[in-house]
Amino acid sequence: MTLDLDLHVDDRSFLGSLTRAAALRGDQCAVRFTDGGDYTAKDLLLQTGRLASVFDSMGVQKGDRVAILCDNRVEFLWAFFAAAWLGAVPAPLNISLRGGTLRHPITELEPKVIVCDNVTAIALADCLSTDDPRVMNVDSHADFSSLRAGGTSMPFVSPRPSGPTELAMISYTSGTTGPSKGIMYSNAMTIAFAESNDWLFGYTANDVAFNCLPLFHGNSVFCTLIPALRAGALAVFAPRFSASAFWKTVRAQGATVLSLLGSMVPILLNQQPAETDSTTTARIALAVPMPDDRFQEFQERFGIKLTSLYGLTDLGVVIGVPHDIPGRPGKCGIENPIWECVVADDDGNPVPDGVIGELLVRPRRPNVMQMGYWHNAEATLVAWRDLWFHTGDYLRRDSDGWYAFIDRKKDAMRRFGENISSFEVESALMSHPSVAEVAVYPVPAELAEDEVMASIVLDPELSVDPAQLLKHCESQLPYYAVPRYYRIVAELPKTATAKVQKSALREIGIDELTWDAGPRGRSKRG
């Protein structure tokens, strides 16, 4: 039995993007993994339809959640699109989550199916019973083995995807002000998100979009995968960022569109110059944050136009540098035409150009806004009030309409390209029996972004050394959230209302009481 690829699926959907790519690219590779595997869009559709039949036999129906905890591999895409095939809701989760940070979304989502791999299965075992029937390990499950072998004998069901305004995906924030929140995307919002990245990159069918960020990350899905599929371009994914291999991989793949987040730009600039630096095939690279003092150095050394953006997982690309205009050092761009932006004071009143304030946003087009936070109406109301979405971030608008990102109003940090919730790091440290109080806050890193620091008050009846706290954090938190600096103190500075003054702690910074765990690159999972 073969699958009729003329599926007549609404183009403005995840599944419609894949069927569109099948029509545009035919037998050409549409998705490649640099550590093995070339796949045409037709291949992906065939295997997606077969896996959808497996999900269907497990009782997956429209609106059910399918949690996905996989590294960069084709099985992630099969599961993602198979959920969309049935009108179910894919919910990609950060593969580095551990302990309570993983238990929270799994409990909240109540997924019908949980797709994992050998490594994430270990973390899941702390949250679920070992024989939970919902869990499908792609490395050992018989149906995934059949799919890898071709799956020609596996049946499939007719597609029944959700409509443009129905729930299509849940993407979890990193928990900037408390437990992470599940953002509900409609199909229309996901396509608007992807089209906004086309506005940045100017995709054509001749492009090769290269991304070394994990597939659960919104950047990989909405900057690379979906816009590339819709343009008939090739999307290439590497397992992780490697400074020493980056440009070699770019040239080998003929990559034309790149995504660089966090400290990747300064790391690449700090590599020893080579004669091949200017021979890259790339024409444009996203840099978030946009470098200031080294902006021109990067463009001239590598011969690549830099673009940038201000965006949120909650909304998409709000501000950016379109592909057909030059970027500016330290600026995140101009207003995306589908969003209206205002910089406001703490009372919500607009401030003049040149004055720092919180960015407020609302859509100019219908159905491009998120549908709210999954099972969290209170958080939805807090973010969306007075007819504006309150980003919680400080920006400044220049008189010519260009924006600069200043700081996070929320108590959050960013490290290794990931947002970190001080709330979740503090919760992990407080779960240690020797910790009585803790405050977690950012201090400057050597290259870019933040390093995570914790000031800790111990229980007077107990003791612990910083190395033990480090080990405890590694067992409870994703690698990027584990503090580097530990400072044992007698008390924390507080206001008259007993709130910890983190501004005072940031001013003190790293002192003689501080224990340094050392610089920590991106660790391997497990």
Residue of 495, 432, 500 whose CA lies nearest to 469: 432
pLDDT tens per residue across span 22-36:
999 999 999 999 998
Cα dihedral 189/380/215/200 (nearest 10): 50
Cα(64)–Cα(82) distance, integer angstroms = 12
Strands 412-415 and 418-421: antiparallel
Cα(187)–Cα(87) distance, integer angstroms = 10
> Does residue 321 contact residue 349 with C-beta atoms inside 8 Å?
no
Q: Where are the beta strands (DSSP E) in 386-489?
A: 388-397, 403-408, 412-415, 418-421, 435-444, 450-458, 485-488
The DSSP symbol for 223 reads I
Instruction: Return the pLDDT at 1.
Output: 39
Cα(418)–Cα(94) distance, integer angstroms = 10
Q: Where are the beta strands (DSSP E) in 173-220?
A: 182-186, 208-211
494: confidence class by pLDDT, cuts 50, 70, 90: confident
Beta partners for 114?
67, 135
Cα(88)–Cα(91) distance, integer angstroms = 10
Tell me the two tokens of residue 227. Answer: 């816009």
Q: What is the CB neighbour count within 10 angstroms for residue 375?
A: 13
250: confidence class by pLDDT, cuts 50, 70, 90: very high
Instruction: Return the pLDDT at 496.
Output: 44
Residue 449 has pLDDT above 90, yes or no: no
Cα(146)–Cα(441) distance, integer angstroms = 48
Residues 300-306, mean pLDDT to the nearest whole number? 95
Spell out the residues 6+ positions from residue 215 whose beta carbon is closer than 8 angstroms to its own: 70, 71, 72, 76, 77, 92, 221, 225, 237
Q: How far is CA 460 from the centre of its chain?
A: 40
Q: Is 434 helix (H, G, I), strand (E, B) or coil?
A: coil
Tell me the two tokens of residue 123. Answer: 């973390």
Instruction: Return the pLDDT at 184.
Output: 98
What the chain holds in terms of domains, given with CATH numbers, is 14-27+41-188 (3.40.50.980), 412-516 (3.30.300.30)
Task: Find the distance separating the first CA and the last CA of the chain, reported in whole Å.
Answer: 40
Q: How far is CA 141 from the centre of its chain?
A: 27
pLDDT tens per residue across span 50-92:
999 999 999 999 999 999 999 999 999 999 999 999 999 999 9
Residue 466 has pLDDT above 90, yes or no: yes
Say what the pTM is. Answer: 0.84
pLDDT tens per residue across span 113-142:
999 999 999 999 988 987 899 999 999 999
Q: What are phi and psi of 472, to 5 degrees?
A: -65, -45
